[in-house]
Structure 1
Amino acid sequence: MVVSPKIFFNDCYGKYAIAAVNVFTMEQVHGLFSAAQRANAPFIVQLTPVARSYAHAKMLSAMIDAAAKIYPKAVYAVHLDHGNEEHAFDAINSKKYQSVMIDASHDDFETNVVRTRTVVEKAHQANMVVEAELGVLAGVEDDIDIAEEHSCYTQPSEVAVFVNATKCDSLAVAVGTSHGAYKFSGGQGIQFHILKEIQDRLNGFPIVLHGGSAVNVGEIERINQAGGKLTEGAAGVSSEEIVKSIQYGICKINIATDTRLLWARVHREFFKQTPDLFDPILPGKEYMQEYEKFMLQKFELLGATGKAERIRTNNKIVMSR
């Protein structure tokens, strides 16, 4: 069942969070939908411009449509992650998305407002919701490459003005997380005093946490033992911080890096341990199983396990009226 993220956020605010997971491949789509159906957990499928360029937007949409038939109890939304106006308008016109993100966070405040409002007006006409971003996250992921010295926290004094001016439906904030595998190099973690002030000023408005992967140290060690050369000592968002952030209005938590690290670990170990094999199906099956196991744990951590049934039931009641 496809559901607007607005319904998700109204249900989860302050109680649990929605996993918003970036996908690129068939194996990831299978693993995500399978885990969500088993956990009875609502979720958001995220497609970035890079993913759309790699696999083609139509291919990704077709895989998601097929997964919805294979896993009929899945309750989900499809979201464009980190798009510009061109990406957002294409997603809106395709009618395959329930939500789009316009990322104008690198612009000055007024330009960000103008660009975001332009996308909001078109999206709302199509009954779609818009995620905006205020503040700049550091990190390297897809086509994002922001040095730490160029990142900046979201200013709480600006959030209410921004939301009122743009009419966006959710707001991604920069409060200490970062994109990619090399997070928290300074050990600062989430700045909860900033997040609390943002929540106070937005009064129940859904807040989004980008860079929500944990970056499991054990995964990095196993990748390197199997021939990888990833920098050790990186740290993502701890489970404790994730759980704590939910009470501060975080409704949507973006996950991408962890599933990439998982892919690297599974494939490196498989071909190291079985160098005589070359069939992509074999590690592919293992990756789907490991992906499903990872997402089951993530849904449990976010408190989302078992929450899809209520959303499914309530949505059917609304649609029948």
Structure 2
Amino acid sequence: MQTPAPAPVQTCLPAPAPAPVRLGVLGCGDIAARRTLPALLRTPQLTLAGVAARDPARAAAFAQRFGGTPAASYEALLERPDVEAVYLCLPTMLHARWAGRALRAGKHVLVEKPLATNGADAERLFRLAGERSLVLLENFMFLHHATQRTVSGLLAAGTLGTVRTVSAAFTIPPRPDGDTRHDPEVGGGALLDNGVYPLRAALRFLGVDLSVAGAVLRHSERYGVDLSGSVLLAAPDGAAAHVRFGMEHHYRSWYEIQGSAGTLSVEHVYTTAPDHAPVVRLAVGTDHTEVRVPAEDHFEAVLRYFAAAVRDPSRAAPGLPLLGEESRRQAALLDSIRGAARRVAV
């Protein structure tokens, strides 16, 4: 009797990893050199294809340091077929203009905050991205840190009860003369530079239907920009947020969420160093605990997220639509804050 042949062994090979997203960089700003491009070199989901700057020599120096091919101009980089996506690291007032040009050139866009200085520009850009099925992501790194996932998990579990108030502050010491934050022509001022961080935290924890109940801006007559400010935001259910920002203060990078059953707070939350292990301080009733979060480079985290969204938007959903809606509302709130603010000349 003949022994039957063994059945073939079924093997399940892992799906090949998607090809890295070929990224072009528009603008060789300080944050790109210090943090974003070093993080990109550690992120296998992306590869640097090209670099463009106003000064071609600066683009060549960046390419020599980080890789990629220098382009003769911003326009030349956007025309390159080997560039799938772009990272915009330009002065604030140029963000919306070049984000629009990149989207019209068929490129996915990661843009430094704020994406837009007004609501109309933000709406136009997200509409354009949607029409062309392109990813448009405003670069708020702190939203992609493990701290945010920890806090979101605590809120979803009902640990704090119903959220009643959010307090958030991002303040930095005075800047020297000549600092671009003092230049209104490039979008300087505390509201656009650091005010958008606590504003974004309020939108994340209280929802996007916030309105401005009051605002104060300290306006420098010397520089022509706001040096600091404070804003009260109201949610439809009566919950409120108090956000503070400025560049004439002791350093603070913090938020606190107070609910009907508990309170949590986190320090160094917007500019978390890659080797810093944050601590979420939690008080529920009379119990006080500390939830430790592993250290993480949030520049790498946002780059991984962007690459995943470009390759497979479903992997980023539902987070990507939420991020887009928060960006839209944030830009609209900037209009409302400027319109409602009591300006104090200093």
Q: Structure 1 length as normaliser, TM-score?
A: 0.34
Query: Larger % of helix: which?
Result: 1
Q: Which has the higher contact order (CA 8 A, sep 6+)?
A: 1
Query: Larger % of strand: which?
Result: 2
User: Greater CA radius of gyration, 1 or 2?
Assistant: 2
